[in-house]
Chains A and B, each alone.
Chain A
């Protein structure tokens, strides 16, 4: 039995004036309209997105469950990026416990300083007093990556140029301003070696997917997007124990997803990846098996469409970035541009990853 995506709802990604639950409601409503089904036809509501501190409310699903349409229905919430909620929804449908499920990812960053919130994820004994920001963690990995594999700032600047160019054509993207290689290289240093345009900015936005088991899926939508492979895992919390030049979690999650999909990287026609920095763009592609370690910079001019959406560098909503990328991959499948694609998400200091392989 296969599990298919039969409806997609996506809101604008920007700094929203409305509270996150009202934006979430819009995404859920759009997904139901897209699938042409009613709230009551959905039996399971799987919520994704951040906990409590990110929105200043201790149990965020108290607000998001009703917004998703979960009144008197099955509800559960998976923490971290909403891309981590997709596997649970898949397994619930796959087990036969659910016929039609919704995954709602809420992304919200504009109510509070995300860096200060994320700082509280560091243990109070060894790390928190170091006042490490996410960007500092990213930069330490960039520094190691560039040094290990001789990657230049011209190479990484190209990623920003490419993502921005794609985002300009994506109606849902947040940062759409085009930029040249020279502009990237001459822009302000944010956290060495990362310059400002090389680090994703925060925004708000929500995404909803409606999933159904194979037979039901075909009734709802003659051309569902099939979930063929899923993988998710964590690397070590202590950065000192990790090989910072590689993304172990992404590689491991991809290995699981490829195995489930019985596919190899060569079968993948497009990728949507959570490049929170320009360096991560290369590191993710390497971990996904598209290039040898240190060689992804050579892919920049290849035929493989990577981040047609503009990627995380242009759209990064705290909690729904991975879901945004998944939706953009699904759009490419719907349009018939590709037959099989891969989406990747990660959070924190790239400690974890969720990977999905979708197909027509």
Chain B
């Protein structure tokens, strides 16, 4: 199989609103930052995979406008898969190169959730209009029902979850692109207003505007571009059935566990906690990091809740998660997955704003739908993990 690496990363600053730019101008900003990072010109980019989640921005099929940011005349493909969009857009760009059809391909995602006056009603339109929409289900309530079950089954406490928020917020302070910058402790989280029980305001992500671009290159090209590329070791996605009520056990994200097994088998990861140095997980709500840690084999079932409280997932811990501040502090929904991939790549390159020491292997993740989809990608400073 053809080896492919991430050779350039560009992110705009993520803010509540980016009134200074139009949609394609934001895309252009991220694309140019990635080009600059890779030392490339737009002419060098052979194809573009573009991702967004349309309804949030109030523009349907914004790729048609955004293509003016440098894509006209190039093979240009729009990917949209819900919360996983950013990761699947990166995956599509990776496949462009892995197939041998192209050598240098850019993934770019733009989202302006801030232009949407309220994101939850949009998220509510994701669920079935004839059976489920009336229930008011949105992203927050779907995460909250996971928390309810995890607390009931494993005795997870509000404090346990608050520690995840404290950790992410502390990390975001180090990231100039991060949206929410708050120096907070457990008490502040616990005292923040209840949104959907048991999740409180400081356990929920913001709505962010911004764009991100990631450039993939074939082995021969990557070597010429930089001496510290992030090699793509393995990828996987998984899709569950539609209805939320079909999930067998909301206290355990079994589809993510299955996807993780496939990823690790392909990559040659024996012990994720030992073999993976840092993870950028899609956890817009505190409980979801706990579930992800357990599903991905970083913690045993029911023990993910202890990791933030015990400091394991902090930057100086054994298994740092979301050193960027994560989705909890920055969520431009359809671009968020690609931010995970960008940050995981920067950790490999040793260029992250909140850099972990000696990173050899990093993991990027996104989930989407009503707990229906996952996408994973494993990156490394080495071309392959074993042998």
Q: Which residues of A contact B (CB under 8 A)?
A: 45, 51-53, 56-59, 61-63, 65-66, 70-80, 84, 87-88, 90-92, 94-97, 117-118, 120-121, 123-125, 231-238, 248, 252, 256, 260, 348, 351-352
Residues of A within 8 A of B80 (CB): 51-52, 59, 61, 77, 79
How many angstroms between the C-alpha atoms of A53 and B22 in the bound complex? 22
- A250 CB to closest chain B CB (Å) equals 12
Contact of A121 among B22, B61, B68, B96 (CB under 8 A): B61
Contact of A57 among B75, B100, B129 (CB under 8 A): B129
Question: Is B2 a contact partner of A95 (Cβ separation < 8 A)?
Answer: yes
Query: Can you pick out 22 interface pairs between chain A and chain B where the beta carbons lie within 8 Å of each other?
Result: A58-B126, A59-B82, A59-B369, A65-B239, A72-B238, A72-B255, A73-B238, A75-B237, A76-B81, A76-B88, A76-B91, A77-B88, A79-B80, A97-B98, A120-B60, A121-B60, A123-B22, A124-B58, A232-B77, A234-B72, A236-B67, A348-B64
Question: Is B59 a contact partner of A121 (Cβ separation < 8 A)?
Answer: yes
Question: Is B237 a contact partner of A51 (Cβ separation < 8 A)?
Answer: no
Q: Which 10 A-B pairs have the closest CB atoms?
A: A95-B98, A75-B239, A91-B99, A120-B60, A59-B82, A58-B126, A94-B99, A79-B78, A95-B99, A121-B61
Q: Which residues of B contact A (CB under 8 A)?
A: 1-2, 22-23, 53-55, 58-65, 67-68, 71-82, 88, 91-92, 95-96, 98-101, 122-123, 125-126, 128-129, 235-242, 255, 258, 368-370, 372-373
How many angstroms between the C-alpha atoms of A153 and B371 in the bound complex? 54
Residues of B within 8 A of A95 (CB): 1-2, 95, 98-100
Closest to A87 in B: B77
Closest to A63 in B: B242
Q: A91-B95, A237-B68, A351-B64 are in contact. List 7 more A-B contacts (CB 8 A).
A: A53-B54, A57-B129, A59-B369, A65-B239, A77-B80, A77-B88, A94-B99
Q: Looking at A117, A231, A352, which has the most chain B CB atoms within 10 Å of its CB?
A: A352
Question: Is A233 a contact partner of B59 (Cβ separation < 8 A)?
Answer: no
Contacts A51-B61, A52-B55, A59-B369 given; does A234 touch B1 at CB 8 Å: no
Residues of B within 8 A of A71 (CB): 239-241
Residues of B within 8 A of A348 (CB): 61, 64
Question: Is B126 a contact partner of A91 (Cβ separation < 8 A)?
Answer: no
Closest to B78 in A: A79
Contact of B128 among A57, A74, A125, A235 (CB under 8 A): A57
Residues of A within 8 A of B238 (CB): 72-75
Question: Is B95 a contact partner of A62 (Cβ separation < 8 A)?
Answer: no
Closest to A88 in B: B92
Residues of B within 8 A of A75 (CB): 81, 237-239, 373
How many angstroms between the C-alpha atoms of A56 and B236 in the bound complex? 29
